[in-house]
Amino acid sequence: MGELERKIKAHGKSLGFDIVGITSAEPFLRDERAAVERIRQGLMDGLPWYTEERVHRATHPEVLLEGAASVISLAISYLSGGPPASLAGVRGKIARYARGDDYHQVLKAKLREFSARLPEIAGHDVSTRVFVDDGPMNDRAAAERAGVGWFGKNTNILTPTHGSWVLLGQIVTDLELEPDAPLAKTCGDCVRCIDACPTGAIVAPFVIDNTRCISFLTIELRGSIPRELRPLVGDWIFGCDICQDVCPVNRKALPTSEPAFEQRHDFAAPELIPLLDLDDEGFRERFRGSAVKRAKRVGLQRNVCVALGNIGDRSSIPALAKALLAHEPLVRSHAAWALGRLGGPESEAALRTANAQEADADVLQEIELALADCLEAVRSG
């Protein structure tokens, strides 16, 4: 490693990044082929922006920056503490990365600060372009080739020091830098993440069926969560950490030192029923500066209904009954499903009341199916 590379890595560490690696700007052809195959297999359905054209741009740094010569890959841990052992109320789960400030804003600010000082470090003008995961850059491909980590079978990048609890940023630059070697590590025979995924979204090592992933279902999906998958979502209302929680590499992962990623409010285990009462203004205020905003209010409340149905706490029936009458059709339909899961006379009465005044065909169908669930529970009970 040369003096310039050492200074660049030290600069990254001074800004709070835990790992800094360097690779060339050569195209990531293997990753392009794999991504295109996933699209053609239908595994990326539901993400209309994820096109073959975007994949090509994401794997060809020279398309993203004229004169691109190197990619600086940076990782920062977001592993913060969990919720207290005992909390009152009916509570759900939010993925760890979304428990603090919105990482897109945090990382972009750090990457811009990093880039601003590169000309001083290099001693001449430098062209750069920064990327987080909302931009057209294959961050995991770059991180692997730069020696930041290796691909886990759940497709996350696993690092030796911080496990997979890392967020990635990339800087494409025209600086000619000495590249790092990829890590000579793999997951070996371990398949714990595959076995633990409740929806079977990891259909093969390194292959995710996006349409079954709880993170997609609770964040990106704008419509109804498929009925057969709802019981498998559990109590997750934004994202999912199951495949990371079971990963042996994460057992000794070092925690984050970034204050912005410490959990806000009760985000590690939010109380669910109050979330059903949020209007648009209340939602914006509750999740201001948080990645949870990506789910939108209606999407989050849909997820809350599913979680309440899965948790099975009957104290949530009045809140679900209210949601069944007062919310948007998407929330009403999932509230009906949850009431059917909970069953009992109170749920059945709420469903029949709603059935008498509901005009939306999709919600009416959900109510009918939920009433059938209630009756089946009585017969089998």
354 CB-contact burial (10 Å; exposed 0-12 / middle 13-18 / buried 19+): buried
Q: Which of 76, 253, 62, 56 is nearest to 161 (CA)?
A: 253
Of 56-65, 76-85, 127-136, 321-330, the least confident: 76-85
Mean pLDDT of 302-326: 97
DSSP 8-class letter at 32: H
Q: What is the pLDDT of residue 216?
A: 97
Q: pLDDT tens digits for 122-150?
A: 999 999 999 999 889 999 999 999 999 99
Q: What is the pLDDT of residue 17?
A: 98
Q: pLDDT tens digits for 237-273?
A: 999 999 999 999 999 999 999 999 988 767 888 999 9
Q: What value does the mean pLDDT of the chain take?
A: 95
Alpha-carbon Rg for the chain in angstroms: 23
Domains of the chain, by residue range, sit at: 1-265, 272-381
pLDDT reading at 18 higher than 80: yes
What DSSP line would sit under 97-144, residue for residue?
GGSSS-HHHHHHHHHHHHHHHHHHHHTS---EEEE-TTSSS-HHHHHH
Residues in Cβ contact with 257 at an 8 Å cutoff, skipping those fewer than 6 apart: 16, 18, 77
Q: pLDDT tens digits for 35-60?
A: 999 999 999 999 999 999 999 999 99
Mean pLDDT of 226-237: 98
Phi and psi at 64, nearest 5°, equal -80, -30
Best CATH choice for the domain 272-381 from the list 3.30.1370.60, 2.60.40.420, 1.20.1250.20, 1.25.10.10: 1.25.10.10
Residue 168's beta-bridge partner residues? 75
Residue with tokens 């759900």: 92
Name the 3-class secondary structure at 183. Answer: coil
Q: What is the pLDDT of residue 264?
A: 75
Q: How confident is the model at residue 236 (pLDDT cuts 50, 70, 90)?
A: very high
Name the 3-class secondary structure at 77. Answer: strand
3-state helix, strand, coil in the chain (%, to 5): 50, 10, 40
Residue with tokens 């503490």: 81
Q: What is the pLDDT of residue 379?
A: 66
Q: What is the pLDDT of residue 134?
A: 87
Give residue 76's identity as a one-letter amino acid code.
I
Q: What is the pLDDT of residue 381?
A: 56
| Cβ pair 264, 100 in contact under 8 A | yes
pLDDT reading at 377 higher than 80: no
26 CB-contact burial (10 Å; exposed 0-12 / middle 13-18 / buried 19+): middle
Catalytic positions: 133
Neighbours of 322 (CB within 10 A): 15
Q: pLDDT tens digits for 157-213?
A: 999 999 999 999 999 999 999 999 999 999 999 999 999 999 999 999 999 999 999
Helices marked H in the chain — which ranges?
A: 3-14, 29-40, 52-58, 61-64, 103-122, 139-145, 192-196, 214-215, 230-233, 242-245, 280-286, 296-311, 317-326, 329-342, 344-355, 361-380
Residues in Cβ contact with 287 at an 8 Å cutoff, skipping those fewer than 6 apart: 293
Q: What is the pLDDT of residue 266?
A: 79
Q: Which of 327, 326, 338, 328 is nearest to 367 (CA)?
A: 338
Q: How confident is the model at residue 84 (pLDDT cuts 50, 70, 90)?
A: low
Q: What is the pLDDT of residue 88?
A: 80
